[in-house]
Amino acid sequence: METGKPLNSAVNFEMTTIEQNSSDPDSTCKILIKYFTPIDAPQYLKDSIMKHTGLLFASWFNISNKLDIEMSVKNFVNEQVKHVFKLEILPKDVYQNNRIISFTYNWFLDREGVRKNFGKYCFVLNMKDGSRIVPDNLTVSDKQEFLKMAEIEFKKQSGMNPDEKMYELYRFKDNVFQLSDTFAFTASGLVFYYNPDDIAPYSAGLITLLLPRENVEAFMDFYR
């Protein structure tokens, strides 16, 4: 893999749109996808961006190694005869600096008209080598204090009392507060998304935790 120094200029993108409706009159399959396609990044970074973008599409489509998204979507739609399947995947945000590049997508799904599902998909990449940054390699100076700060922010933003027990309202593993694997960097701070059914009933919807930038900078240097 090609690697290099942190980029001194922003990566530019073009928006790719795929819209496909079934040609079969008995099918109500409709798909709308928009995604960021890098146009001037080093090849290693372009490849990584498209690889991790493809992981979202692979949840529904059989994506080839060449990431032929348009053909995969077309084949999928043609197979959905007499099925209700409406899917939208839309870009929400991209944040970048010399260290990282962070993507956030919204997705909406109506399958058979039973229950509409929705959620967030995020990925963060290291600008230097294109590797993905996940919770385990979020370099934090003091993990215990960082989690304590995040739990305080979660309770405050959820309208909870500081001494209120988390497990009485939320389904955290072992009744211990945990950060979501779905997170993104923004200009305002580090955002963690708990998708419907992750830690609360579907009716609770999407739960968002924003750790303000100044709080994050006290524990990690991804903004430098």
pLDDT at res. 83 = 67
pLDDT at res. 80 = 66
Q: Residue 153, Cα to own-chain centre: how many angstroms? A: 21
Q: Which two tokens stand for residue 96?
A: 């970048």
Beta bridge pairs of residue 19:
32
Q: Which two tokens stand for residue 141?
A: 């100076």
Q: Please state which architecture CATH assigns to domain 13-133.
A: 2-Layer Sandwich (3.30)
N- to C-terminal Cα separation, the chain: 25
Q: Would you mind telling me the total number of residues written for the chain in this entry?
A: 224
Q: Whole-angstrom Cα distance, residue 170 to residue 165?
A: 9
What is the mean pLDDT, run by run of 10 residues, along the chain of 224 residues?
45 91 76 91 94 85 64 76 80 93 94 80 95 87 92 93 83 89 95 94 92 94 83
Residue partners of 114: CB distance under 8 A and separation at least 6: none
What is the model's pTM? Answer: 0.87
Note whether 94 and 73 are within 8 A (CB).
no
Q: Which residue has the tokens 């496909």?
A: 20
Q: Which two tokens stand for residue 20?
A: 């496909």
Superfamily of domain 135-217: Heat-shock cognate protein, ATPase (3.90.640.20)
Q: Whole-angstrom Cα distance, residue 42 to residue 144?
A: 36
pLDDT at res. 1 = 28
Q: Whole-angstrom Cα distance, residue 123 to residue 22?
A: 30
